[in-house]
Amino acid sequence: MGEQKKTTMRNKREGRYGKVLCSVLFLSLLFLLAQQTGVLASDGAENTSNMYATFWALVPSIVAITLALITKEVYSSLFVGIVVGALFYTNFNPEQTVLHILNGGIISVLSDTYNVGILIFLVILGTMVSLMNKAGGSQAFGRWAQDHIKTKVGAQLACVLLGVMIFIDDYFNCLTVGSVMRPVTDKHNISRAKLAYLIDATAAPVCIIAPISSWAAAVSGFVEGEDGLALFIKAIPYNFYAILTLVMMVGMIVAKIEFGSMAKHEKNAQNGDLFTSGSRAGAYVTDAEQKKGKVIDLLIPIVCLIICCVIGMIYTGGFFEGTDFVTAFSQSDASVGLALGSFFGLIITIILYLCRRVLSFKDCMACLPEGFQAMVPAILILTFAWSLKAMTDGLGAKEFVAFQMKQVAGGFVNLLPAIIFLVGCFLAFATGTSWGTFGILIPIVVFVFGSDPARHELMIISISACMAGAVCGDHCSPISDTTIMASAGAQSDHVNHVSTQLPYAIVAAGVSFVSYLIAGFVQSAWIALPIAIMLMAGVLVLIKCVMPKEAK
% of the chain surpassing 70 pLDDT: 81
Instruction: Answer for the pair 30, 84: CB distance below 8 angstroms, yes or no.
Output: yes
**One-letter amino acid of 414:** N
Summarised one tens digit per residue, pLDDT across range 144-182 is 777 788 889 999 998 898 888 777 667 777 877 887 788
Instruction: Answer for the pair 523, 234: CB distance below 8 angstroms, yes or no.
Output: no
The DSSP call for residue 57 is G
DSSP per residue, 336-363: HHHHHHHHHHHHHHHHHHHHHTSS-HHH
**One-letter amino acid of 163:** G
Mean local confidence (pLDDT), 122-143: 81
Question: From CA 224, how far away is CA 207, in angstroms rounded?
Answer: 21
Return the minimum-mean-pLDDT range out of 62-76, 204-218, 339-353. 204-218
Residue 527 has pLDDT above 90, yes or no: yes
Instruction: Answer for the pair 465, 418: CB distance below 8 angstroms, yes or no.
Output: yes
Give the H/E segment covering residue 450: none
Summarised one tens digit per residue, pLDDT across range 295-320 is 888 888 888 888 888 898 889 888 88
Higher pLDDT, 404 or 269: 269
- Mean residue pLDDT of the chain comes to 80
Question: From CA 210, how far away is CA 242, in angstroms rounded?
Answer: 11
Instruction: Answer for the pair 235, 458: CB distance below 8 angstroms, yes or no.
Output: no
How would residue 183 be classed by pLDDT, with cut points 50, 70 and 90? confident
Instruction: Answer for the pair 252, 501: CB distance below 8 angstroms, yes or no.
Output: no
How would residue 70 be classed by pLDDT, with cut points 50, 70 and 90? confident
Question: From CA 268, how far away is CA 498, in angstroms rounded?
Answer: 18
Sorted by sequence, the CB contacts under 8 Å of residue 504 that are 6+ apart come out as 197, 201, 248, 249, 252, 260, 262
Residue 285 has pLDDT above 60, yes or no: no
Mean local confidence (pLDDT), 414-418: 86
Q: Measured between alpha carbons, how far apart are the two ends of the chain, in Å? A: 34
Sign of the CA dihedral running 48, 53, 54, 57: positive
Residue 18 has pLDDT above 90, yes or no: no
Question: From CA 193, how far away is CA 478, in angstroms rounded?
Answer: 14
Residue 39 has pLDDT above 50, yes or no: no
How would residue 387 be classed by pLDDT, with cut points 50, 70 and 90? confident
Give the residue among 225, 231, 228 at the shortest CA–CA distance from 450: 225
How would residue 283 be classed by pLDDT, with cut points 50, 70 and 90? very low
Residue 27 has pLDDT above 80, yes or no: no
Give the residue among 477, 506, 487 at the shortest CA–CA distance from 78: 477
Sorted by sequence, the CB contacts under 8 Å of residue 133 that are 6+ apart come out as 139, 285, 287
CA atoms in the 13 A half-sphere facing the CB of 134: 24
Instruction: Answer for the pair 437, 466: CB distance below 8 angstroms, yes or no.
Output: yes
Predicted local confidence at residue 538, as pLDDT: 95
Question: From CA 248, how far away is CA 243, in angstroms rounded?
Answer: 9
Give the CA radius of gyration of the chain: 24
Predicted local confidence at residue 542, as pLDDT: 93
Mean local confidence (pLDDT), 211-240: 72
Return the minimum-mean-pLDDT range out of 30-34, 74-78, 83-87, 533-537. 30-34
Phi-psi region at 363: left, alpha or beta (left = phi > 0; alpha = psi -120 to 50): alpha
- 115 class by beta-carbon count within 10 Å (0-12 exposed, 13-18 middle, 19+ buried): middle
